[in-house]
Chain A
Amino acid sequence: MVELREVSKVYDSGTVGLDRASLEIGRGEFVFLVGPTGCGKSTCIRLLLKELEASAGDILIAGKKLNDIPRQRVPYLRRNIGVVFQDYKLLPNRTVYDNVAYSLEVIGESRQAIRRKVPDILRLVGLSTKLHNFPDELSGGEQQRVSVARAFVNHPPLLLADEPTGNLDPETSIGIMQLIYRINRTGTTVVVATHDSEMVDKMRRRVIELREGRIIRDELSGLYRPDESTTEFAVRLRGEMGVGPEGHPN
């Protein structure tokens, strides 16, 4: 699904974002990119979105080289990639409903389809009562749910998340991770960048660790059961992170 071949990224300032990184992510995989701040996680995500251009090497998504995609085709690439950001990046002057609807308007969905799909996806992320609230009227966790809904509403084959839980407390984080896991279970390939290594270790998914732009660990571990249900997943996670089932930290 995603392949990096000897990819380097050097910023104009001379900072090295990524240093000859190679990796391969299969269809339907759930992968964590971990490492401290400035290790190249975000660079990686932004390269996959073609928000940045690689200085060297090839990036392939679904077998297509990103270098070969001309500038005016980039929007069509992005329509097949859902993105979730640490700072949510919602449109501040639109309601929850309109924020999610926007990514459907962009791909030219009909009005009826939008009216059907948006409430559906918002029910899935548990926000069916906040359709007409504005982002600044929601909590951080709720805003992140909107952003996940927006990323997933047109069922992209690839979902990228850059520190999706960076601004959230542990309980809310588990909720978001559970949501992302649920999306992964529908067959979507998921790449999550995070510096929260504790959470990553407990989730027992494939982990790629970066340090100073280099891949220093890639655990294709068989530690986890790939068929774990979302409920089992959440229960286990809550137990391991010391968060009670009622949603209050012990």
Chain B
Amino acid sequence: MRLGFFLKEALRGLSRNSAPALAALLTVMLTALVLGVFIPIVQATTGTANEVRNRVVVDVYVKNDATAGERKELRSALEDTANVRSVDFISKAEGLAQARKKNPAAFKNGAELLGDNPLPDTYRVTPEDPGKVGLIVDRLAPKEADGLRVPSLAGIDEVRNKEEDTEKILSATGLVKILTAGLAALLIFASIALIANTLRLSIFARRREVEVMKLVGATNWFIRWPFVIEGIFVGFMGGVLAVLLLTIAKETFIDPLADRFALLAAPDTIHFPLLVVVLLLACIAVSAAGSALTLRRFLRV
């Protein structure tokens, strides 16, 4: 391949058509900027939604008179149940301490009224997939014909998963996830369409030139390479500008606030260097491929 010649041609194309090239560059920059802001937001939102979903648990209350053997059997049965991620044991005393901590005012005066600790020993089961928490409940306490749940093991007093709360959490977070995914898809589609259109304009201005090249016997790739190189350059420059702006914004606005707001400091958003690399590669790929594809129409001479 005659890289030197193609580079020279690409440079000529850029300098001779600087206005459309600049327009394409700015388009790439703006879309990259929007994506760069949007990607962490989507991640923080879904991250938060997932965190909320992880609060879905099943409490298995142990009978007060259960024997040590029954408890042991219960624990291993729980751990063997499908869709169970972890099983935590909360003893009567721990349960009381947690309740006291959660609502100190109620215990301030009334602790004596309770007399003995009324809370049962509890196994707290965290599901692997919160959406299928019902399976665990069904397994531990299958529904009988009359609609009542009957524990399947001797040691179980009752199985609870705060059904109403669970339903709400699942449907709300599910909606949030679908919405953000939809928005992300729309945004990416819009970005690609916008960049492709701007590139088309800049190539349309040169369609006569392409026609002449074809008539003197240039192969398609001979004509295409300079355009692809131009696309790479435009994408790279647009990406670099967007990354610069993002860095400035991050350093001046986000970082100082991150300490104060949980969302901004959400642990599972993309790492900034990775975001930069992803954005740059996307910019280059989209504009190079866009150039090559748009050219196709004019190569049919």
Q: Least Cβ distance of A153 to chain B in Å?
A: 10
Contacting residues, chain B, for A105 (C-beta < 8 A) = 2, 5
Give bound CA distance, A93 to B226, whole Å. Answer: 15
Q: Is B222 an interface residue (CB 8 A)?
A: yes
Q: Is A220 an interface residue (CB 8 A)?
A: no
Give bound CA distance, A83 to B217, whole Å. Answer: 10
Q: Is A247 an interface residue (CB 8 A)?
A: no
Q: Is B105 an interface residue (CB 8 A)?
A: no
| B218 close to A106 (CB less than 8 A) | yes
Q: Nearest chain-A residue to B16 (Cβ)? A: A93
Contacting residues, chain B, for A51 (C-beta < 8 A) = 215, 301
Q: Is A75 an interface residue (CB 8 A)?
A: yes
| B16 close to A78 (CB less than 8 A) | no
Q: A75-B217, A78-B217 are in contact. Are A106 and B222 (CB under 8 A)?
A: yes
Q: Least Cβ distance of B20 to chain A in Å?
A: 13
Q: Is A190 an interface residue (CB 8 A)?
A: no
Give bound CA distance, A77 to B12, whole Å. Answer: 28
Q: Is A90 an interface residue (CB 8 A)?
A: yes
Give bound CA distance, A150 to B5, whole Å. Answer: 19
Give bound CA distance, A72 to B218, whole Å. Answer: 11
Contacting residues, chain A, for B301 (C-beta < 8 A) = 51
Contacting residues, chain B, for A150 (C-beta < 8 A) = 216
Q: Least Cβ distance of A131 to chain B in Å?
A: 17
Q: Is B250 an interface residue (CB 8 A)?
A: no
Q: Is B213 an interface residue (CB 8 A)?
A: yes
A:78-112 near B, CB below 8 Å: 78-79, 83, 89-94, 102-103, 105-108
Contact indicator per residue, chain B 187-225, by CB within 8 Å of chain A (1) or not (0): 000000000000000000000110111111111101000
Contact-residue bracket for chain B: 10 to 19
Contacting residues, chain A, for B216 (C-beta < 8 A) = 78-79, 83, 102-103, 106, 150
| B215 close to A83 (CB less than 8 A) | yes
Q: Which of B2, B212, B214 has the most CB of A within 10 A?
A: B212
Give bound CA distance, A103 to B218, whole Å. Answer: 8
Contact-residue bracket for chain A: 20 to 34
| B213 close to A90 (CB less than 8 A) | no
Contact indicator per residue, chain B 99-113, by CB within 8 Å of chain A (1) or not (0): 000000000000000
Q: Is A34 an interface residue (CB 8 A)?
A: no
| B217 close to A79 (CB less than 8 A) | yes
Contacting residues, chain B, for A92 (C-beta < 8 A) = 209
| A93 close to B217 (CB less than 8 A) | no
Q: Least Cβ distance of A132 to chain B in Å?
A: 14
Contact indicator per residue, chain A 38-78, by CB within 8 Å of chain B (1) or not (0): 00000000000101000000000000000000001001111
Q: A91-B209, A92-B209, A93-B16 are in contact. Are A108 and B2 (CB under 8 A)?
A: yes
Q: Least Cβ distance of A193 to chain B in Å?
A: 15
Give bound CA distance, A179 to B215, whole Å. Answer: 21
Contacting residues, chain A, for B5 (C-beta < 8 A) = 105
| B212 close to A75 (CB less than 8 A) | no
B:265-301 near A, CB below 8 Å: 301
Q: Least Cβ distance of A74 to chain B in Å?
A: 8
| A89 close to B212 (CB less than 8 A) | yes
A sample of 14 inter-chain contacts (CB < 8 A) reads A49-B215, A51-B301, A75-B217, A75-B220, A79-B217, A89-B212, A91-B209, A92-B209, A94-B12, A105-B2, A105-B5, A106-B213, A106-B216, A106-B219
9 A-B pairs with least C-beta separation: A78-B217, A79-B217, A103-B216, A93-B16, A106-B218, A75-B219, A75-B217, A89-B212, A106-B217
Query: Which B residues contact A (CB, under 8 angstroms)?
Result: 2, 5, 12, 16, 208-209, 211-220, 222, 301
Query: Which A residues contact B (CB, under 8 angstroms)?
Result: 49, 51, 72, 75-79, 83, 89-94, 102-103, 105-108, 150
